[in-house]
Copies of this chain bind each other. A is one copy, B any other.
Amino acid sequence: MAKRQLELIARKEKRGRSVKKTAPKLVKKAALKPVVRLTATDLATRQREISVSEFFTKNRHLLGFDSPAKALLTTVKEAVDNALDACEEAGILPDLVIEIKEISETRYRVAVQDNGPGIVKAQIPKIFGQLLYGSKFHTLRQARGQQGIGISAAGMYGQLTTGKPIKIASHTGSKKPGHEYEIQIDTKRNQPVIVSERELDGKEPEPDKEKRAVPRVFEHGTRVELEIEATYKKGRHSVDGYIEQTAMANPHASVMYVAPDGERHEYPRVAKELPKPPLEIKPHPHGVELGILLKMLHETKARNVVSFLHGEFSRVSGPVAEEIAKSAGLAVSMSPQKAAREQAESLYKAIQATKLMAPQSNVLSPIGEELLIEGLKKQVTADFYAGTSRSPAVYRGNPFLVEAALAYGGGSLPGDELCTMIRFANRVPLLYQQSACAITKSVIQTTWKNYGIQQSRSALPLAPMVLMVHIASVWVPFTSESKEAVASYPEIMKEIKLALQDVGRKLGLYIRRGLREADAEKKRSYIEKYIPHIGIALQEILGIDDKRKEKVCATLKDTLERSRKND
């Protein structure tokens, strides 16, 4: 193959050259290979492995790098997600600095710095130079990152579009030296390549003389820098919008953002405390498939099936584990590692048939109704606000909860347009793929007419309204790796609709009260307008004096007012 290719190239080269001298326009196109009558052997030679990096290079729209504007947003988002997660895991109130510098109209340098715990030296290359490497995939705990793809994908995109490596500086504490790395990805092997590496003692001069918003020297934390092909736009779907909404959903973080135009946006810390730390849980037995159960049985270190069930799952007490084993017809002392497929299947069926407590619900960290409304108030000036934070529910064994808030009316919201939606998942704003998202679908499927709001079939409600929905879960199911839209699990959509109905009812009350008041106001104004005329008419007909007339008028007004109010 390689030899044939070489010959082909050589032949083409020759042809190209010889023809060139006489009639350059006659140069033939590169020959096309028609694909006909291939045998199984021919086909076999074409089979090969695809590394996950190659896969995502070619499918980079799956990761959110489908346009230059989106690439800028995604890069910032992945770095910020990691920064916030790291700070919170270490129990540190986050101080973030985000800087975007324009290098040319289509090229930007993005830097994100946090005051987190830093990253130990040995881990830096893999975290930033290998796809599918991370700390959150194998756990069940509410976090922004979950896949081990994001930041290394951003690095890969930088490498793809500018050829430049991703640069990481990290300090794990004031007494230890920091480290700076430049990393690329060997996409064929999905492995990091260290381009440069040096120790930072915290005292050295800035390596480049450019002025920066914050010093590059810091006590602990991580600074990530990338150069990428991108375009910068303002607006709701822009980096600016993303950072604003991030600050809104993370009131415990202080964010400083230097935009490409040099403008500084500061979002000071609003909440003085970290949100309740989310807890890691073990899988719930009802959310585990037969294949996973089989794998867990074979990989466990438990000595018998009862300790396996009790130790590897949540909500399975010792007695319950014994009960399950018995109803599956398995000996309590059976070694899980030796379980055959059929035994695993009996166990699986026994688990499904056993009533168990729902997964722990206190492991999630909601934003809370109050902070939701506070956040909305900062974004939108409106006449009416409502919010709700629902109790946790479960899909496929994973606890999740939904929060919703809305802002309605007031001059700043356009009345003749579809409502504006703000979506969050684990406190991360979702800016793209709105129509594919379970949140949007739930909004569309909610009957807003019940709350006095116009809505066409299969459309968002038509109202001067901003709707905000947050879903928090130990594992948010997204429709793609770029994490832009929540997958439409029925359990999740049901909870979103319940949350929307809750804020919808509150809005309906307000709107109806508004309508009633408007109606009342109209009646009252009629009364005030016509009663004097009636008085004059009565005076003329009955010949009463002015005093009498005033009295009659007052009585009439009073009677009518009372009857109006009783309407």
Residues of A bordering B, CB below 8 Å: 2, 5-6, 8-10, 12-13, 15-17, 19-20, 24, 27, 29-30, 32-41, 43-44, 46-52, 54-55, 57-59, 61-62, 66, 86, 89-91, 117-120, 122-123, 126-127, 130, 132-139, 141, 147-148, 159-164, 170, 172-173, 187, 229, 277-282, 289-292, 294-295, 301-302, 306-307, 310-311, 313-319, 321, 341, 344-345, 360, 362-363, 418, 433, 435-436, 441, 456-460, 475, 477-481, 485, 487-489
Residues of B within 8 A of A119 (CB): 40, 43-44
* A48 contact set on B, CB distance < 8 A: 133-135, 137-138
- Please pick, from B38, B282, B291, the residue contacting A117 in the complex, using a CB distance under 8 A: B38
Flag if B133 contacts A47 (CB, 8 Å): yes
Q: Among B34, B55, B363, which residue has its beta carbon within 8 angstroms of that of A279?
A: B34
Contact B32 A279 (CB under 8 A): yes
Q: List 16 A-B contacts (CB under 8 A).
A: A16-B310, A20-B317, A30-B311, A32-B360, A40-B120, A40-B170, A43-B89, A43-B120, A50-B134, A59-B147, A66-B489, A160-B291, A161-B291, A162-B291, A229-B289, A418-B457
| Contacts A290-B160, A480-B62; A29 near B318 (Cβ below 8 A) | no
Which one, B47, B50, B147, contacts A123 given CB within 8 A?
B47
Q: Which residue of B lies closest to A318 (CB)?
A: B16
- Bound complex: CA A458 to CA B434 (Å): 13
Q: Using A5-B301, A133-B49 as known contacts, say yes or no to A159 and B44 having CB atoms under 8 A apart.
A: no
Smallest CB separation, A414 vs chain B (Å): 13
Provide the bound-state CA to CA distance between A33 and B30, in Å. Answer: 63
Closest CB of chain B to A236's CB: distance in Å?
A: 16
Complex: chain B residue closest to A156, CB-CB: B291
In the bound assembly, the distance between CA atoms of A260 and B437 in angstroms comes to 32
Q: Which B residues are in CB contact (< 8 Å) with A164? A: 341
CB closest chain-B residue, reference A159:
B291
* With A10-B307, A24-B317 already in contact, 7 other A-B pairs whose C-beta atoms are closer than 8 Å: A2-B301, A20-B319, A27-B319, A29-B314, A32-B360, A47-B123, A66-B488
Is the pair B54, A290 in contact by a Cβ cutoff of 8 Å? no
Set of chain B residues within 8 Å of A36, measured between Cβ atoms: 91, 277
Q: How far is the CA of A34 from the CA of B132 in the complex (A)?
A: 25
Smallest CB separation, A178 vs chain B (Å): 11
Closest residue of chain B to A143 (Cβ to Cβ) is B35
Q: Which residues of B contact A10 (CB under 8 A)?
A: 307
Is A40 a contact partner of B301 (Cβ separation < 8 A)? Answer: no
Q: How far is the CA of A315 from the CA of B62 in the complex (A)?
A: 29
Minimal beta-carbon separation of A358 from chain B (angstroms): 12
Is A54 in contact with B137, judged by CB distance below 8 angstroms?
Answer: yes
Minimum CB distance partner of A462 in chain B: B457
Residue of B nearest to A18 (CB): B318
Min distance, Cβ A125 to any Cβ of chain B, angstroms = 11
A481 and B62: CB pair below 8 A? yes
B319–A289 contact, CB under 8 A?
Answer: no
- Tell me, in angstroms, the Cα distance from A160 to B557 when the chains sit together: 77
- Give the chain B neighbours of A89 by CB distance below 8 A: 35, 38, 43
Q: Most B CB atoms within 10 A — which of A34, A35, A51, A290?
A: A35
Cross-interface CB contact of A17 among B6, B141, B318, cutoff 8 Å: B318
Chain B residues positioned under 8 Å from A120 (CB to CB): 40-41, 43-44
Give the shortest distance, in Å, between A45 (CB) and chain B (any CB): 9
* A456 closest partner in B (C-beta): B456
B37/A282 in contact, CB under 8 A? no
| Min CB–CB distance A269 → chain B (angstroms) | 19
CB pair B315–A37 under 8 Å, yes or no, is no
Which B residue's beta carbon lies closest to that of A292?
B160
A318, B58: Cβ atoms closer than 8 Å? no
| Residue from B17, B133, B306, B478 in contact with A50 in the complex, judged by beta carbons closer than 8 Å | B133
Chain B's nearest CB lies how many Å from the CB of A190? 9
Residue in contact with A61 in the complex, picked from B43, B436, B477, CB distance below 8 Å: B477
Contacting residues, chain B, for A170 (C-beta < 8 A): 40
Other-chain contact of A436, B43, B62, B418, B435 (Cβ < 8 Å): B435
Asked if B33 contacts A280 (CB within 8 A), the reply is yes
